[in-house]
Amino acid sequence: MKKVGIVGANGYTGSELVRLLAFHPNIELSFLYSRSNSGIRISDLYPDLATVCEMVLTDKPVEVDILFLCLPHKESQNWLSQNAVGDDVLIIDLGNDFRLNGEFNNRNFIYGLPEINKKNLSGAKSIANPGCFATAIQLALLPLAERGLLNEVYTTGITGSTGAGQSLQATTHFTWRNDNISAYKTLTHQHVDEVLQQLNSFNEKEVSLNFVPWRGDFTRGIFTSSTVKSDLELSDIEQLYREFYEEAPFVKVSEKAIDLKQVVNTNRCVIHIEKNENVVVIHSAIDNLLKGASGQAVQNMNIAMGWEENLGLNLKAVGF
Amino acid sequence: MKKVGIVGANGYTGSELVRLLAFHPNIELSFLYSRSNSGIRISDLYPDLATVCEMVLTDKPVEVDILFLCLPHKESQNWLSQNAVGDDVLIIDLGNDFRLNGEFNNRNFIYGLPEINKKNLSGAKSIANPGCFATAIQLALLPLAERGLLNEVYTTGITGSTGAGQSLQATTHFTWRNDNISAYKTLTHQHVDEVLQQLNSFNEKEVSLNFVPWRGDFTRGIFTSSTVKSDLELSDIEQLYREFYEEAPFVKVSEKAIDLKQVVNTNRCVIHIEKNENVVVIHSAIDNLLKGASGQAVQNMNIAMGWEENLGLNLKAVGF
Amino acid sequence: MKKVGIVGANGYTGSELVRLLAFHPNIELSFLYSRSNSGIRISDLYPDLATVCEMVLTDKPVEVDILFLCLPHKESQNWLSQNAVGDDVLIIDLGNDFRLNGEFNNRNFIYGLPEINKKNLSGAKSIANPGCFATAIQLALLPLAERGLLNEVYTTGITGSTGAGQSLQATTHFTWRNDNISAYKTLTHQHVDEVLQQLNSFNEKEVSLNFVPWRGDFTRGIFTSSTVKSDLELSDIEQLYREFYEEAPFVKVSEKAIDLKQVVNTNRCVIHIEKNENVVVIHSAIDNLLKGASGQAVQNMNIAMGWEENLGLNLKAVGF
Amino acid sequence: MKKVGIVGANGYTGSELVRLLAFHPNIELSFLYSRSNSGIRISDLYPDLATVCEMVLTDKPVEVDILFLCLPHKESQNWLSQNAVGDDVLIIDLGNDFRLNGEFNNRNFIYGLPEINKKNLSGAKSIANPGCFATAIQLALLPLAERGLLNEVYTTGITGSTGAGQSLQATTHFTWRNDNISAYKTLTHQHVDEVLQQLNSFNEKEVSLNFVPWRGDFTRGIFTSSTVKSDLELSDIEQLYREFYEEAPFVKVSEKAIDLKQVVNTNRCVIHIEKNENVVVIHSAIDNLLKGASGQAVQNMNIAMGWEENLGLNLKAVGF
């Protein structure tokens, strides 16, 4: 049993990690760190955890084998600067501090998208877990990028309210958000750079990504549609995707139309491709808190530790 | 054209009054008062009001013929103590300051439920607008109370998120409230006293009301089911209700099952009665912001001013 | 008072017309035609219409001054072939039978987008009411098209469930659709031709439109984001839009971010423009049943009859 | 590994069983029976099952150790009459054919509410799985019934759309149901008899149950509030509940307010008790498809087979 600590366990991705790790067979939770909620039982913050995990949040971390950082952006660096962590501890950062530049202290954070980095992640000690939109968009585009087939990409994506975190904001007020759709960070979302860094590492031609993110009136999930130009036949593109994801247990290239709820409460990504004349549209869907955050973090832990990739991740879809 | 001022125009019921009064043929808006948002355009707070009403909120009230108070509880008294209002100004208070005790300064606030008080409201200068749950429950029970047929009442009611106001709270966070149901103020909701005061003024026997309010995962509307005992035939009860509401343009006693959306975005109340053995269940539905607040306030204004009761209240239901 | 008949009054757009016309000051409803529901009271199909309109659906049309056709695609032609309609009767077709080719019998249907066709619509006897997505997308693009500034357009749009009509389908089952997002008719939506016909009548260069429609988990409304390239300054583009819509009472070019609920239950369209480098994104929102169908039909009627454009269309937004 | 067959695997409860059993360590699925969808892959009906279970539905059952019947009411009897099932096969019926009268052929169906029948269920060969509302209401009332403290009960319960099954109906149309609340089967719901049979087997005085079921605008879950009279102190009642459920791993008596989403996608039931004067309100919440159907069926299987009660039921709550 490996010892695990979660820093920022009081947030959405932190508590989702608790939900996952409470039933993971190879680990035991050693501490749940939160400065603001220290002394409070995690199940008092998230009552669905009652009987599942009754640990008390602490601001005193102890020694562990694996450390998850679930902190607001830029806070991971601060925390690591202020808290000593042994060199042999596996650190998985769910924030965006180390995604674009993985060098920090003596560590070199590997970008934790297992579908492209599984080899590097095996045995890794430092992992930068990808962003939620970045995961959904990359999984939709990587097979084309690998072949150098990407040029200009037009993507619209919609995200659930959990993507905005637990803070109370005008745009997370139920009265405002229910039955509502809106755009935000048009063309300037912070995940664009993250996506381009990966795509451009594959694709010879420089890729441009015009990304319009929308806020959706649901809590969990991301659905994206990316439009690109290609002269390949649809069947060839599909074949290319199937081959690319042959060894990816959580990615499914579907010949049929997909919808968001196929993946809600799972670590899966579903992809569907359509084509009309020379225009290709690739749809992808993930659960932003799972494949887009905490689920992928567990997947990365499994790979880094040499465990089965889907350990603790055989999650029942919400389905309905 | 009568001049109207709205105090607390920045809140939900205040802005809903603006939506209604902007199209009312007999009035003109003179000022929208808000201390906290003074200087801000109402359409910047509520962009659906763009082109409909572009007035700037002010903390300097001017003389008007009609004054609506849309303030948090206890604030109406404070405001009236601090601001001089002429004796001939019609004041309609949407808070609960004057519902249980209508005496204030030299004014005597009439309880503004037109279905029982239309005569007193005609020509009135001071009106205490009923609470939202109080309206839905009373309209469901008054015909029985008038005949002295009520004894013990068991009511469950569910309300939309607008009932909780615009402040950001854990229970109005979209992530929490979406697809969620919960109870609050079980047996102790502040509207119970208001309901009992009216029911007991009719009913000889003292009525008891066991009221369980629920929070619903929608924004607008109240649906209630009240269970009572009665030996009357269902058809007699229905007849009694139809007679009671014969002259009430906004109350419809339906022989068919009702649902909440029949009344959303209207000033209407629909009622449906069912019976099994000696147990009677009366269902009622209203829009909490309209018949439960601002719509009823306009209805009261119309009656008080001697105008047609439904002036400015022929609202298109949302329907779907 | 002009006499009005509605054919297909039992459907969503037909019943929405009833909701609007019941309160329109210049008309009276003469008949509500439905073959399948003949003999049934409209308020039994749509109980929100109780007390508002209690007419019985009929399959025997009578003489009227104005006729609305709210029929499934291709059914308008059939109906007009089988039922004699006087030459002086104003016909407004809400289907898509006459949008691409307006010639039928001796009539020439004018494309009923008032923002570009107001002059032609004035006094018209035959009007083809635009499609819902077609309205939202055109209003977002027309000011650029008029200046010949459009080239390739990438649009994603999301529509409420009322867009799918009242038939029971797998994709309108609540259990499936709640909290769900999905794409349909990718790149092949029937409104693309309708949009291009108008855009290309303005724009010198041939416009291409890559349109990805999504199904949303709400009932009313359309939100679209269109991405195009332009070297103009954002302020110049905004100016261009404001000028284009100067005389359009229902279109608002907003400097601030927009959201869908700003227009739900109104006949309005709101537009917001953003720009990053040479990429421009234009967002637009309408209520698909109002500005996207029945509301625009009433607007067209008003213009054709020489009445005020917004008669009967001063609708209270749902707001929340 | 025990062999399992599911009859009616194409429905909601059947497919939910597949979701659960696909990851259950002690069983393997031998057949998924469906007459109407024979030959179709289950993952084509429920795409969330892709990669999880790709079995093809069949109308040819084979020999198994455990048989789940997920059929419409009265169909379980028919199926068992037409298909031979060995005496040593464990049959768990999720319909209501054997709940009120467990005698059928040579079998005697045990009522499968583990919280009262665990001993009888251990080693049982025939189990009648309780109804969803019946589970939620009984768990809320049994500790009082056991002490003979129940007399008259007033219960309101709200259920998600999955409770209505997968057939397309007016009341499961998204356009109708979204943001809507309605009552159905007022005082006459079929689960009332089932509840009373159990309560009256405990409670000396005859219990009466006035039950008003509501349809909610969400897919999963049941929330109930039951009002009763009692002279006991609240703390004594809570103590009584805690003792009653001491050995029940899936029932949590909460000192804090509960909400529906605490249990969605889990097999848990949460209960919260409030009291004012001599009036007691007991709230309970379950996931109607899990503790209210398929989850409880797996729990019953575990108990009957002598396995750990929570095997395969450590489900991640949806949480948000």
What SS3 string covers chain A? CEEEEEECCCCHHHHHHHHHHCCCCCEEEEEEECCCCCCCEHHHHCHHHCCCCCCECECCCCCCCEEEECCCCCHHHHHHHHCCCCCCCEEEECCCCCCCCCEECCEECEECCHHHHHHHHCCCCEEECCCHHHHHHHHHHHHHHHCCCCCEEEEEEEECHHHHCCCCCHHHEHHHHCCCCEECCCCCCCHHHHHHHHHHHHCCCCCEEEEEEEECCCCCCEEEEEEEECCCCHHHHHHHHHHHCCCCCCEEEECCCCEHHHCCCCCCEEEEEEEECCEEEEEEEECCCCCCCHHHHHHHHHHHHCCCCCCCCCCCCCCC
Cβ contact C227:C169 at 8 Å: no
Q: What is the pLDDT of residue B182?
A: 98
CB contact under 8 A, A170 and B173: no
Closest CA to B135 of B1, B49, B13, B277: B13
Q: Which of D219, D259, D316, D318 to mutate to test the interface with A (most CBs of A within 10 A)?
A: D316
Mean pLDDT of D240-256: 97
Task: Say how far apart CA B50 and CA B43 lie, in whole Å.
Answer: 5
Å between C272 CA and nearest CA of chain D: 28
Q: Measured between alpha carbons, how far is residue B95 from residues B6, B74, B101, B169, B215 in Å? A: 13, 8, 12, 20, 20
How is residue B58 written in tokens? 């002010």
Closest CA to B297 of B112, B108, B46: B112
**Residues forming a β-bridge with B238:** none
Pair (D118, D191) in one structural domain: no
Task: Say how far apart CA D173 and CA C278 lie, in whole Å.
Answer: 44
DSSP three-state, residue C196: helix
Cβ contact A289:D320 at 8 Å: yes
Residue D69 lies in a domain: yes
Task: Say how far apart CA C297 and CA C24 lie, in whole Å.
Answer: 13
Closest CA to B269 of B255, B254, B247: B254
Instruction: Identify the helix (H) or strand (E) that includes residue B14.
Output: helix B12-21
Partner A contacted by C258 (CB < 8 A): yes
CB contact under 8 A, D47 and A270: yes
CB contact under 8 A, B19 and C319: yes
Q: Which of D37, D175, D176, D218 to mutate to test the interface with C (most CBs of C within 10 A)?
A: D175
Residues of C within 8 A of D169 (CB-CB) are: 168
Residues A11-54 have pLDDT tens digits of: 999 999 999 999 999 999 999 999 999 999 999 999 999 999 99
Cβ contact B224:B157 at 8 Å: yes
Sheet arrangement for strand C152-159 = C182-183, C208-215, C152-159, C222-229, C279-286, C269-276, C251-254
| CATH classification at residue C54 | 3.40.50.720
Q: What is the pLDDT of residue D43?
A: 97
Residue C21 lies in a domain: yes
CA torsion angle C237 C239 C241 C242 (round to 10): 160
Contacts of A246 (CB under 8 A, 6+ apart): none
CB contact under 8 A, C276 and A186: yes
Q: Is this prediction's ipTM beyond 0.85?
A: yes
DSSP three-state, residue D152: strand
Find the CB nearest D181 among B188, B216, B227: B216
| CB atoms closer than 10 angstroms to residue D312 | 22
Residues of C within 8 A of A219 (CB-CB) are: 179
How is residue A228 written in tokens? 């690109």
Annotated catalytic, B269? no
Ranges of chain B with pLDDT below 70: none
Pair (A21, A141) in one structural domain: no
Instruction: Count interface pairs A-B at CB distance under 8 A.
Output: 52
A175, with CB counted inside 10 A (0-12, 13-18, 19+), is: buried
Residue with tokens 């009913």: B203
Cβ contact C286:C278 at 8 Å: no
Q: What is the pLDDT of residue D5?
A: 98
Q: What residue spans of D63-131 are helical by DSSP H?
A: 75-82, 114-121
CB contact under 8 A, D173 and C162: no
Which one of the listed residues D53, D70, D132, D269 is annotated catalytic? D132
Residue D152 lies in a domain: yes
Q: Which of C174, C178, C182 to mutate to test the interface with D (most CBs of D within 10 A)?
A: C174
Is pLDDT at A202 greater than 90 in this prediction? no
Pair (A7, A123) in one structural domain: yes
CB contact under 8 A, C170 and D168: yes
Residues D101-150 have pLDDT tens digits of: 999 989 999 999 999 999 999 999 999 999 999 999 999 999 999 999 99
Nearest residue on chain C to A176, alpha-carbon basis: C320
Task: For Cα atoms C249, C295, C225, give the angle at the middle one, nearest 5 degrees.
Answer: 70
Pair (A167, A276) in one structural domain: yes
Closest CA to A94 of A31, A39, A15: A15
Å between B143 CA and nearest CA of chain D: 21
Is pLDDT at A241 greater than 90 in this prediction? yes
Task: Say how far apart CA A265 and CA A263 lie, in whole Å.
Answer: 6
Closest CA to A142 of A266, A245, A287, A211: A245
Nearest residue on chain D to A251, alpha-carbon basis: D51
Residue A318 lies in a domain: no
Q: Measured between alpha carbons, how far is residue A258 from residues A225, A244, C180, D11 in Å? A: 11, 19, 10, 20
Pair (B104, B168) in one structural domain: no
Q: pLDDT band at C263, cuts 50/70/90?
A: very high
Residues of A within 8 A of C154 (CB-CB) are: 154, 210, 227
C277, with CB counted inside 10 A (0-12, 13-18, 19+), is: exposed
| CB atoms closer than 10 angstroms to residue A224 | 28
Is pLDDT at A129 greater than 90 in this prediction? yes
Residues of D within 8 A of A266 (CB-CB) are: 48
Give one DSSP letter per residue of C56-120, joined into a string.
BPBS-----SEEEE--STTHHHHHHHHS---TTSEEEE-SSTTTS--EETTEEPEE--HHHHHHH
Question: In this complex, which chains have at least 3 CB pairs below 8 Å with chain D?
Answer: A, B, C
Pair (C201, C105) in one structural domain: no
Residue D320 lies in a domain: no
Which one of the listed residues B53, B70, B132, B269 is annotated catalytic? B132
How do the residues of chain B divide into helix, strand and coil, expressed in percent and rounded to 5? 30, 25, 45
Residues of C within 8 A of A261 (CB-CB) are: 176, 179-180
Pair (D220, D298) in one structural domain: no
B215, with CB counted inside 10 A (0-12, 13-18, 19+), is: buried
Contacts of A45 (CB under 8 A, 6+ apart): A10, A15, A37, A57
Pair (D125, D264) in one structural domain: no
Structural domain containing residue C49: 2-129+293-305
Cβ contact C76:C8 at 8 Å: no
Residue D264 lies in a domain: yes
CB contact under 8 A, B210 and D184: no
Extract the runs of DSSP E, i.e. beta strands, from B163-255: 182-183, 208-215, 222-229, 251-254
Find the CB nearest C254 among B47, B249, B263: B47
CB contact under 8 A, C20 and B264: no
Is pLDDT at C202 greater than 90 in this prediction? no
Closest CA to A181 of C226, C154, C157: C157
Pair (B80, B98) in one structural domain: yes
Letter for the amino acid at A315? Answer: L
Mean pLDDT of C201-208: 88
Residues of C within 8 A of D12 (CB-CB) are: 175
Residue D184 lies in a domain: yes
Cβ contact D146:D202 at 8 Å: yes
Is pLDDT at C139 greater than 90 in this prediction? yes
DSSP 8-state secondary structure symbol assigned to residue D44: H
How is residue B202 written in tokens? 């009719």
CB contact under 8 A, D176 and B257: no
Residue C56 — φ and ψ, nearest 5°?
-100, 130
Q: Measured between alpha carbons, how far is residue A67 from residues A74, A298, B246 in Å? A: 17, 11, 70
Residues of C within 8 A of B294 (CB-CB) are: none
Count structural domains, chain A.
2
Residues of A within 8 A of D12 (CB-CB) are: 320
Pair (D100, D198) in one structural domain: no
Instruction: Identify the helix (H) or strand (E) that includes residue C153.
Output: strand C152-159
Find the CB nearest B188 among D225, D276, D283: D276
Nearest residue on chain B to C251, alpha-carbon basis: B51
Residues of A within 8 A of B287 (CB-CB) are: none
Task: Say how far apart CA D158 and CA D285 lie, in whole Å.
Answer: 10
Nearest residue on chain C to D45, alpha-carbon basis: C170
Task: For Cα atoms C51, C57, C58, give the angle at the middle one, nearest 5 degrees.
Answer: 145
| CB atoms closer than 10 angstroms to residue A121 | 22
Partner D contacted by A253 (CB < 8 A): no
What is the 3-class SS of A206-217, one letter each residue? CCEEEEEEEECC
Letter for the amino acid at C145? Answer: A
Cβ contact A175:A230 at 8 Å: no
Å between A144 CA and nearest CA of chain C: 19
Residues of D within 8 A of C261 (CB-CB) are: none
DSSP 8-state secondary structure symbol assigned to residue D64: -
| CATH classification at residue D275 | 3.30.360.10
Is pLDDT at D305 greater than 90 in this prediction? yes
Partner C contacted by D161 (CB < 8 A): yes
Residue A49 lies in a domain: yes
Closest CA to A142 of A19, A50, A228, A37: A228
Closest CA to D16 of D305, D311, D288: D288
Residues D185-207 have pLDDT tens digits of: 999 999 999 999 999 998 778 99
Pair (C169, C98) in one structural domain: no
Find the CB nearest A262 among D48, D315, D317: D48
CB contact under 8 A, C173 and D175: no
Q: pLDDT band at C203, cuts 50/70/90?
A: confident
Task: Give contacts of B 192-251 with A, CB under 8 A.
Answer: 217-219
Task: Say how far apart CA B273 and CA B259 lie, in whole Å.
Answer: 13
Task: Say how far apart CA C105 and CA C79 lie, in whole Å.
Answer: 12
Pair (A111, A138) in one structural domain: no
